[in-house]
Amino acid sequence: MTAYLDHAATTPLLPAALAAMTQQLATVGNASSLHTAGRSARRVVEESREAIARAVGARPSEVLFTSGGTESDNLALKGTYRARVAADPARRRLLVATTEHHAVLDCVEYLVADEGAEVTWLHCDADGFVGVDTVRAAIERDPSTVCLVSVMWANNEVGTVQDVAGIAAVAHEYGVPVHTDAVQAVGHLPVDFTATGVDLMAVSAHKLGGPVGVGALVARRDARLVPLVHGGGQERQVRSGTLDTAGIVAFAAAVTESVARLEAERDRLVRLRDDLVVRAVALGGGIRPGGPWQRGDTTRRLPGNAHLIVPGCDGDSLLYLLDAAGVAVSTGSACQAGVPRPSHVLLAMGVPEGDAAGALRVTLGHTSTQADVDAFVDALPAAVQRARRAREAS
């Protein structure tokens, strides 16, 4: 049996989510219809919206359903940029962390190339942290030109957890809205949208035990957004389209359960993560953790993230060798799998290109066990040896 250690890419459905989705799939009804079946579907959607809002510290009206994290990020960035520039053409400058997911980076590159946006990159330290002072300095270069700040809550590759509350507080001093990609954070870290002060937050169901294809953009009521899709005017007239009632109810079941058991699951995953990292580093050969590392840490790094840098190897070789041994991991973002270049996240952190090429993202989740960790540690030495021989021969 495969030891599945790629939960940051997607994690298995929680039984509660599967049950809720299966039950709803057997029920007809468009949540925008006015007859009995439609009103029944609408009730399911609104009760799910309320449950998700409670779980993330938001008002129900702030939860806008989307197809997932990528759409939510695009709606936040493009929608805000277009609305703010229409109101004030000088506000074309986006402040964006260099370690963002490509759902943000590629969106920014599009806005720069096609819509006249300007970008100020927010650089990080060796652990991937973007300092509050870095954000302040970038804004103060010319506050009147800043459109939006975007810094992800928790990094999908190395697990670094940002001070999003501090960043939001600084940005708001200058009247600048803040977007955060919280896809890896919700269900794994305490997340309170209102208390943190961010304006826009992306969430995806399949990262926390829900189905693929549904997520949310949590947006403050005063957030100004130009829609990406026009049609029936659903979701505050910001995101048109027939609502996926079955996906939404499963999303609500997953986020409710994952948040309710967050503390116990966090402590369990930290123990597994620490065991995996310590044993991998003990193998020698320069293996080291990427990102912030301290045993028992639950605040600076995601509990289930055990990112490793393996010098002298190609990450893809390690991935395939481990896969052949029955262990599923990744080299970085699953959205960039198969792209033969080092992680932009590691390069932004100052990791040498040769070392960055040998990165492994090992991520644990609700189905992970000690046996999975043991399988990885047992398979790693032979995989490293063969991968290094392959690189030397190439």
Q: What CA dihedral angle connects 340, 344, 345 and 348, to 10 degrees? A: 140
Structural contact between residues 387 and 314, judged by C-beta atoms closer than 8 angstroms: yes
Catalytic residue among 107, 124, 313, 335: 335
Q: CA nearest 97: which of 55, 62, 134?
A: 134
Residue 80 three-state SS: helix
* 65 contact partners, CB below 8 Å, separation of at least 6: 45, 49, 214, 215, 216, 235, 239, 243, 244, 248
Report the C-alpha gap between 343 and 362 in whole angstroms.
15
The one-letter amino acid at 15? P
- Provide the token pair at 361: 């993202």
Q: Which residues pair with 200 in a beta bridge?
A: 179, 219
Which residue's structure tokens are 């294809």?
A: 213
Report the C-alpha gap between 58 and 196 in whole angstroms.
10
Structural contact between residues 149 and 167, judged by C-beta atoms closer than 8 angstroms: yes
Report the C-alpha gap between 144 and 287 in whole angstroms.
46
Instruction: Give the count of beta carbons closer than 10 Å to the beta carbon of residue 57.
Output: 17
Which residue's structure tokens are 């970085």?
A: 332
Report the C-alpha gap between 220 and 72 in whole angstroms.
14
Q: CA nearest 319: which of 337, 335, 341, 305?
A: 337
Beta strands, E only, the chain: 3-4, 63-66, 93-97, 118-122, 146-150, 178-181, 200-204, 215-219, 288-289, 308-309, 327-328, 359-360
335 labelled catalytic:
yes
Residues belonging to the active site: 335
